[in-house]
Copies of this chain bind each other. A is one copy, B any other.
């Protein structure tokens, strides 16, 4: 600090990459800006850090404001700080990513903010470095999903094994053997089997499960490592 004497404040933005899973596909929530700058273009959900707000809190508020959800899996992704990233003025942006259960969010609220869900294929170009942010978030999600049970954040509370498998297949862009997958995931002992079946996708119906978070946390304390 004897080196950098000058203290010049800069603007700090927050941007949020919001993932959802709609039973078949991974989707991302972006908004069409009806305000300047870049009005009419698509961008991530964002805002500015307020001087009296913790960074993490600020990010949670941002998300809640848009989706009506609180208590969401959300994690800081990266701070983007190239000089020219915002053509207007110098703004650095702290990006967060969130995983939400699609059926729990407030669809009307999202629409009222011009929010729209896109799959990766359909994703329009976004402003500034927001495309880059999404790419980084995707990498992180894939990486993280390998060694932490975060998939459940994207599914309803009750889900079937085939649903869970499909989610992981979509995330990792691959296919798993049904038998091996269910063996592996059940062997972890972190799923509670329910006495209900989900009969929407098949005639026989598939058993519903819940993620047993308490059990998982207890296991982690004992050195347990989730790994797909």
Contacts and interface: CB of A to CB of B under 8 A. Distances in A.
Given A48-B8, A49-B92, A82 B65 contact: no
A82 B83 CA distance: 24
B48 A92 contact: no
A4 B48 contact: yes
Copies in the complex: 2
Nearest to A49: B10
A177 interface: no
A53 B92 contact: no
A51 B10 contact: yes
Interface residues of A, number: 41
A97 to B, nearest CB: 14
A76 interface: yes
Interface in A1-40: 1-4, 6-12, 14, 33-35
Given A49-B92, A55-B92, 19 more contacts: A1-B33, A2-B34, A4-B48, A4-B62, A7-B11, A8-B11, A9-B9, A10-B10, A10-B12, A10-B49, A10-B51, A12-B92, A51-B90, A55-B82, A56-B81, A76-B78, A76-B79, A79-B94, A81-B94
